[in-house]
């Protein structure tokens, strides 16, 4: 019992790992999303990964992305520009089409039914009023699939 008490006291008195490494939650995550920012926000950025190789080999495109200095939220319009920290969404364009679609889910982009061959997807990070903030492209190839495999 004495050893359990000593162990419990040691754990309770140990410094947090992040503090021991000199990093705070704010340094890693940025300011909390529940408090309006009183200073100018740093630029919003988007990072887009290449499609996941497993699904791509089956003709399915799963593109993961993440944003920095912006929260993806389904809120739109001029008044939403005043929200702090800033909010926005993405616009997705496939193969340079003259149209795109907006997505505010924050989930990976999923494409199915593209023909075999090379493709490009551009993902534009947009503010709540659809103005572009940042953009990234990813290029990939949908492999030829044998009709006998039954994959679609």
69-126 per-position pLDDT tens digit:
999 999 988 888 888 889 999 999 999 999 999 999 999 999 999 999 999 999 999 9
pLDDT exceeds 60 at position 147: no
Which spans in the chain are helix H? 2-13, 17-20, 25-29, 53-56
Residue 22 lies in a domain: no
Task: Please give the residue that has the higher pLDDT: either 16 or 114.
Answer: 114
Q: What's the confidence (pLDDT) of residue 5?
A: 46
Residue 23 lies in a domain: no
Name the burial class of residue 1, with classes exposed (0-12), middle (13-18) and buried (19+) by CB atoms within 10 angstroms of its CB.
exposed
- Place 35 in a pLDDT band, splitting at 50, 70 and 90: low
CATH assignment at residue 66? 2.60.40.10
Name the burial class of residue 69, with classes exposed (0-12), middle (13-18) and buried (19+) by CB atoms within 10 angstroms of its CB.
middle
Ramachandran angles phi, psi of 132, nearest 5°: -65, 140
11 backbone φψ class: left, alpha, beta (φ>0; ψ -120 to 50): alpha
Half-sphere exposure of 127 (CA within 13 A, CB side): 16
Residue 7 lies in a domain: no
What DSSP character marks residue 111? E
Residue 128 lies in a domain: yes
Residue 4 lies in a domain: no
Pairing of strands 117-127, 132-142: antiparallel
Total of domains in the chain: 1
Residue 119 lies in a domain: yes
Residue 13 lies in a domain: no
Residue 12 lies in a domain: no
Which among 60, 49, 46 is positioned nearest to 139, based on CA atoms? 49
pTM summary value: 0.70
Can you give the residue range of the structural domain that contains 73? Answer: 34-149
């Amino acid at each position: 019992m004495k050893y359990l008490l000593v162990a419990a006291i040691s754990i309770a008195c140990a410094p947090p790992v992040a503090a021991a490494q000199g990093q705070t939650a704010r340094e890693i995550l940025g300011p909390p999303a529940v408090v309006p920012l009183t200073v100018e926000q740093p630029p919003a950025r988007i990072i887009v990964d290449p499609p996941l190789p497993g699904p791509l080999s089956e003709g399915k495109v799963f593109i993961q992305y993440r944003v920095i200095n912006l929260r993806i939220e389904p809120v739109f319009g001029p008044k939403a520009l005043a929200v702090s920290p800033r909010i926005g969404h993405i616009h997705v364009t496939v193969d340079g089409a003259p149209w795109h679609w907006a997505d505010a889910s924050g989930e990976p982009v999923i494409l199915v039914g593209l023909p075999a061959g090379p493709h490009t997807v551009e993902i534009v990070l947009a503010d709540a009023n659809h103005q572009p903030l940042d953009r990234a492209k990813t290029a990939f190839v949908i492999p030829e699939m044998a009709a006998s495999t039954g994959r679609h």
